[in-house]
Homo-oligomer: A and B are copies of this chain.
């Protein structure tokens, strides 16, 4: 696999991340995962805008964002993915410097790492639906930034996996926030409900796309907090994200959602999203 690291394209096995990298020492960085369909980055501008937001919030400078899209495109080509479904992973850290909690000296170059690899969405659970569990939200208070400080996410996801579930939904003081690696939407009274964007939740790009698609499909939408206690009242629960598209959550904490099978709104949105991402047959 050819990857990009700090100005160079190289075999992944040749990449050297320094033990002084602030990504390794302090989780001091941000990342994005972008889907590519036939060499085209899906919602590229939105991903780069979110990346720019994270860099601004963390005050990581020195990143030439304009060059990154071209680098991603070249990685797709160099890895034979220009005609395939793929993901581009992109991580930027505050660079490498002798360990100190304080920021490194001005001018320290950030670490910029990108890779592209073939990707297949989880079509089985998209079709059959999947189980989720709720877990207490132990994460920090800036989940609006897509940082690599993902330890709580990995622990939650592993907990879900060991419970035979596909995703863990974070509940903060009983309020359902998002999944360990996805956004979570709810359907009640035939309205698609998104939790409000606060500091406890990421502005999911697929979430935003699904909202737009819902409007186009004449599905009513609302933005409000949803509580764990409401779970028995939801007709549908949807897990949405870059690497899952839309997965109907049919069981939460062992109890069925709605009829315990993928619901009509999930099906309609899946179909509409699919049309957006797949080039129309010529």
Chain B nearest CB, measured from A193 CB (Å): 25
Q: Mark A143-179, 1 if CB is under 8 A from B, else 0.
A: 0000111111111011001000000000000000000
For the complex, give the distance between the alpha carbons of A89 and B31 in Å. Answer: 27
Chain B nearest CB, measured from A179 CB (Å): 10
Q: Are B142 and A147 in contact (CB under 8 A)?
A: no
- Listed residue (A3, A5, A24, A149) with the most chain B CB atoms within 10 angstroms of its CB: A24
Interface of chain A, main secondary structure: mixed
Q: How large is the interface on A (under 10, 10 to 19, 20 to 34, 35 or more residues)?
A: 35 or more
For the complex, give the distance between the alpha carbons of A16 and B148 in Å. Answer: 19
Beyond contacts A24-B24, A102-B158: 20 other A-B pairs, Cβ-Cβ < 8 A, are A16-B16, A17-B18, A17-B19, A17-B24, A19-B113, A19-B115, A24-B93, A26-B153, A27-B27, A27-B148, A28-B150, A58-B151, A101-B158, A101-B181, A102-B154, A103-B158, A103-B161, A136-B141, A139-B141, A141-B152
